[in-house]
Amino acid sequence: MPRKARSYKRHPIHSDYKYNSIKIGKFINYIMERGKKTVASKIVYDAFDLIEKQTKSDPKAVFEQAVRNVSPILEVKGRRIGGANYQVPMEVQEPRKTTLGMKWIIDAARTKKGRPMAEKLATELTEAYNKTGAAIKKREDVHRMAEANKAFAHFARFQRR
């Protein structure tokens, strides 16, 4: 039986006020905890100021390239076929790709200890921009897992019922 279409309207994501970018607005929303958007905005903008000082380039461009570098191409999804569970590698579609990239950058920044969040975020974004750091390692781990389970790729065409 085919899945029903979404029965609710998606909320529009507002762009941030400084860079007028929907992607940065979404990133601020992911950083936000307990509804404190002004705190999240301050963290992101402070991190962007630090990036601008360190790299002497446009922080928006650094951010977008960092997210592109971290975004996965493949991931594994569990499929139950004939009583056995298989990790089936699948291609990641666009909205999920950037969402995962942003969340991995934030998680990597949060796991670092001993400094303000803006500094940790700036460091993680510049590392992701340079294709190093914990978020890139997470992407490589996901790709390695998909590569290891390539033998089960033929299960991807089966639809769930």
pLDDT per residue over 43-85, tens digit each?
999 999 999 999 999 999 999 999 999 999 999 988 888 888 8
CA 146 to chain centre: 17
Q: What is the pLDDT of residues 94-136, one digit of tens each?
A: 899 999 999 999 999 999 999 999 999 999 999 999 999 999 9
List the Cα angle 65/70/71 in 5-degree steps. Answer: 95
Residue whose structure tokens are 């004939």: 82
Q: Given this model, what pLDDT does residue 1 score?
A: 57
- Contacts with 82 (C-beta within 8 Å, 6 or more apart), sequence order: none
For the chain, the first-to-last Cα distance in angstroms comes to 6
Range with lowest mean pLDDT among 1-10, 19-28, 62-71: 1-10
Which band of pLDDT confidence, cut at 50, 70 and 90, is reported for residue 24?
A: very high
Examine the pLDDT at 13 and tell me if it is beyond 90: no
- The per-residue DSSP string of 52-116 comes to HHHH-S-HHHHHHHHHHHHS-SEEEEEEEETTEEEEEEEEPPHHHHHHHHHHHHHHHHHH--SS-
Examine the pLDDT at 2 and tell me if it is beyond 70: no
Domains and CATH numbers, the chain: 22-157 (1.10.455.10)
Q: Given this model, what pLDDT does residue 158 score?
A: 59
Rounded to whole angstroms, the Cα distance separating 31 from 20 reads: 17
Name the phi and psi angles at 76, rounded to 5: -105, 140
For the entire predicted model, the pTM comes to 0.88
